[in-house]
């Protein structure tokens, strides 16, 4: 009985170990070493990119880039040179259009990914970046949002507009000769 209890305790301890909790113990899925290692993601500062059509500014794309390094030492290099990387990103998105063909209000994600990856390689050297993506890389958080320069305003229905404000309450004025001795 004591031996069975010891065996159950051992199995429970192994299942609760950090390796199992991180997804490395059990299951058939093999994690991608380049994108799933802890500490290899860097949230970059936001980018604001102009969106133009025929030389006319339509608005701005707000971009939330993320970088996955190939190792924790590569991530340290990204963080050490963050200002230089951000400068390269800003210069890049302002130098040439990033809009999708046929729709100047949409960002060509594949084009932007290639260009930002090339910027990272220029600043850091090759072999340091495994992936560049935006937001959470999901439909719920695509990491890129277009904001028009002159948004249209929706007119307010007349029934919702207060034509007259209620009269202000008047309070009696205090006199100087009130009960002060």
In a domain, 7, yes or no: no
- Closest to 31 measured CA to CA, from 22, 40, 41: 22
In a domain, 162, yes or no: no
Q: Which domain holds residue 69?
A: 43-147
Dump pLDDT digits (tens) for 45-101. Answer: 999 999 999 989 999 999 999 999 999 999 999 999 999 999 999 999 999 999 999
In a domain, 176, yes or no: no
In a domain, 68, yes or no: yes
In a domain, 25, yes or no: no
The pTM for the full model equals 0.63
pLDDT over threshold 60, residue 181 = no
Q: How far apart are CA 7 and CA 122, in angstroms?
A: 55
In a domain, 31, yes or no: no
H or E segment at 109? helix 109-124
In a domain, 156, yes or no: no
In a domain, 131, yes or no: yes
How many domains are there within the chain? Answer: 1
């Amino acid at each position: 009985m004591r031996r069975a209890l010891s065996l159950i305790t051992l199995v429970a301890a192994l299942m609760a170990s950090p390796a199992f909790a991180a997804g490395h113990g059990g299951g058939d899925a093999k994690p991608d070493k380049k994108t799933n290692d802890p500490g290899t993601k860097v949230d970059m500062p936001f980018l604001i990119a102009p969106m133009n059509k025929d030389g006319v500014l339509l608005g701005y794309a707000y971009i939330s880039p993320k970088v996955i390094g190939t190792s924790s030492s590569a991530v340290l290099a990204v963080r050490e040179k963050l200002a230089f990387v951000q400068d390269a990103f800003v210069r890049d998105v302002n130098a040439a259009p990033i809009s999708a063909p046929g729709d100047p209000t949409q960002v060509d994600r594949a084009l932007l990914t290639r260009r930002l990856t090339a910027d990272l390689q220029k600043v850091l050297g090759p072999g340091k970046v495994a992936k560049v993506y935006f937001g959470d890389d999901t439909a719920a958080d695509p990491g890129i949002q277009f904001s028009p320069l002159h948004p249209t305003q929706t007119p307010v229905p007349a029934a919702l507009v207060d034509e007259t404000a209620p009269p202000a309450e008047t309070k009696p004025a205090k006199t100087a000769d009130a009960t002060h001795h």
